[in-house]
Amino acid sequence: MIGLDWYQHSFDFPLASEPEWAAKVERWYQLDAGSFALTETFWRHQQSLEILPKWMLLASPLASNVTDRQFVASGASSPAKFVHTLPNIRSASLLQVMGWTGPVLCLQNDPKTVLTGISEGMGLALSTKRPVWVLSVTGAGVNFTGSIFVLDSNTTASRWKISKSTAPEMAIAASHDKDLFLWLNGSEQAEHSFTALECEIVKAHK
């Protein structure tokens, strides 16, 4: 069983002011909402994210569809918009701000992209015995949320614990990303555990 923590930040985009980390990112004003979300979420929670990961997994529902549509709507001629029309690009500004290099995988599996990222992250955290971060961006229009899930086999102080599930496969297949976020947001009152794909998440007893 390994520890699971979740750090999130919700915001309106486009921004009303310059971010605190602007000096660390070349042409920060050209970032799309996805890139901004991950960088700002890290920046706001960096005190709690002191132990850097061995691996990062990017897992955002809808991939880069929002930015893709903006590129097309603006006439499909803006290089600054086109460079953000891939879901992996959003880690570039985050890595600049963190000063981190290492292996990153960008995964898609809608409507279970975040769950898939967490399930794969659990496997990696178990095999490497090192922290793994799963990074996600959700939202559309002007409201977005960045999420950083930390999976760490060495922590005893996490908010949740995650382990390989023993539930039947048919039951496991039913849950989607939205169910996970609903459960995490209300887990103090909700059922004790959430099961999806090959993992079971439980509230940690502190």
Partner 1 sequence: MAWIQSYDCSTTAGDHSDDLWRALEAGRDLSEPWPEDPTVRAFLFKNRSSGSVQELLVDKLLTAFRPVKPALLMGESLGVILASTKGMSNDFIWQSEGLGLITDPLTPLLAQFLRRSELGPKRSLCVSNACSSSLAAMALAELWLEQGLSQVLILAADAVTPFVVKGFQALKLITPTQMKPFAEGRSGFFLGEGAACLLLSKERRNSEMRLHKVGLDSEGSAVTRPSSSGKSLRQAALNIPHLLELKPQVLIAHGTGTLINDETEDLAFSDLFTADPPITTCTKWCVGHTLAVSGAIDTIAALEALRRQSLFKLKTTSSVDPKFKGRYLTAQKNDYPENFSRVMISSLGFGGMHASALIERIPL
State both tokens at 91: 């880690």
Cα dihedral 75→76→77→79 (10° resolution): 140
What contacts 153, CB < 8 A, 6 or more positions away? 2, 3, 125, 126, 129, 130
Selected range binding partner 1 among 1-9, 103-111, 146-154, 170-178, rule: CB under 8 A? 103-111
Site for partner 1 in 63-82 (CB under 8 A): 63, 65, 68-69, 71-72, 76-79, 82
Which residues make beta-bridge pairs with 199?
164, 196
Residue from 106, 137, 199, 201 binding partner 1 (CB under 8 A): 106
Residue from 1, 44, 54, 92 binding partner 1 (CB under 8 A): 92
Give the separation between CA 92 and CA 38, rounded to whole angstroms: 10
Residue in the block written with tokens 């569809």: 65
Selected range binding partner 1 among 9-17, 89-97, 150-158, 171-179, rule: CB under 8 A? 89-97
Residues making contact with partner 1 (CB under 8 A): 26, 56, 61-63, 65, 68-69, 71-72, 76-79, 82-111, 113, 116, 120, 123-124, 127, 140
